[in-house]
Structure 1
Amino acid sequence: MSHLSRTLPIKRAAHVYLVRDGELLLVEERMDDGSIFYGLPGGKANPGESLADAAVRQVAVETGLTVTDLRFVSLLEGEMLTGTRNECYANFGRFTATFHGDLDPTDPEVVGVKWVPFAQVEGLIRYGPPPEVEERNPLIWVPTRDFLRGEARTYYPI
């Protein structure tokens, strides 16, 4: 029997490309298996919270930096992790911003924050089996690769 309609939970998240002298800021998080995962600062939006507000809040917690003048870069949208218990419809916003302050993460999951030269960013990416970490899906990194090359599109179906 085919399902004509189904309800998927919506996952909304925002991440920010923070750039300084040809380097991109990445956060280091420890996964359940003890490995280190590198990702963009940002994260899930709370119910009723805009993606922009989520970006500002999450960057502050994960890096200690205050971001201002948020500028929209890309929207990633589509079904993710189909057929798993983490199946969802994703709305991910990507922004750039002006920032100030000192690197001082307060998120207990963040073990480090690191400025990485553009040329080294893709070498840090590890793709893992979903549903462990959605951000390890290669499609999530295509917009970052494009951004680093100066070729970001405004919309990415995922």
Structure 2
Amino acid sequence: MSHLSRTLPIKRAAHVYLVHEGQLLLVEERMDDGSIFYGLPGGKAHAGETLGDAAVRQVLVETGLHVTDLMFVSLIEGELLTGTRNECYANFGRFTASFSGDLAPTDPEVVGVKWVPFGQVEALVRYGPPPEVEERNPLIWVPTRDFVRGQPRAYYPI
């Protein structure tokens, strides 16, 4: 049997757990089907951009907050969305950070920013269609669940 190799596009992204008095900052985004999705502030890294720089840039546009002193928490890595048009190799960093400023998102996709008590974070997670939306993949939320429970791991293979 011959070995068939394939090359997957790599998606690199960084998200930040911003914590204040037992609450986690989540952004509210409107999905294509009109529903509201809650997620961590952060997003895709540009070509040549470090995950840390992507985290700082994305948090600023999505929340208005300036983050400093990034501390690594977790890396999520592996093949994501296999069999869909968005199949990719994911390399997602999760950080905590200090922050300053006022909540004032400028990203047009963000419809709100909300401090959510740790105990209520998991209730906001929605899984399911459409399958190409990677943020609705349960594997993406496992590290957040562990973080709010005080049990983050450093590495999450997908």
- For normalisation by structure 1, the TM-score amounts to 0.97
Deviation for aligned residue 1:101:
0.3
Cα distance in structure 1, aligned partners of 2:133 and 2:28? 14
Q: Secondary structure at the match of 1:28?
A: strand
Equivalent residue, structure 2, for 1:55: 55
1:37 and 2:23 correspond = no
Letter in 2 for 1:7: T
Percent of paired sites with the same residue: 86
Equivalent residue, structure 2, for 1:11: 11
The runs of at least 4 aligned residues of structure 1 exceeding 4 Å deviation read: none
Equivalent residue, structure 1, for 2:157: 157
Cα distance in structure 2, aligned partners of 1:128 and 1:96? 27
Cα distance in structure 2, aligned partners of 1:61 and 1:70? 17
Cα distance in structure 2, aligned partners of 1:9 and 1:149? 33
User: 5 Å matches for 1:111-130?
Assistant: 111-130=111-130
1:96 and 2:115 correspond = no
Cα distance in structure 2, aligned partners of 1:3 and 1:81? 22
Q: Secondary structure at the match of 1:26?
A: strand
Equivalent residue, structure 2, for 1:135: 135
Aligned residue pairs: how many?
A: 158
Q: What stretches of structure 2 of length at least 5 have no aligned partner?
A: none
Q: What stretches of structure 1 of length at least 5 have no aligned partner?
A: none
Cα-to-partner distance string for 1:54-82 (whole Å, 9 max, x where unaligned): 00000000000000000000000000011
RMSD, matched Cα = 1.2
Letter in 1 for 2:79: E
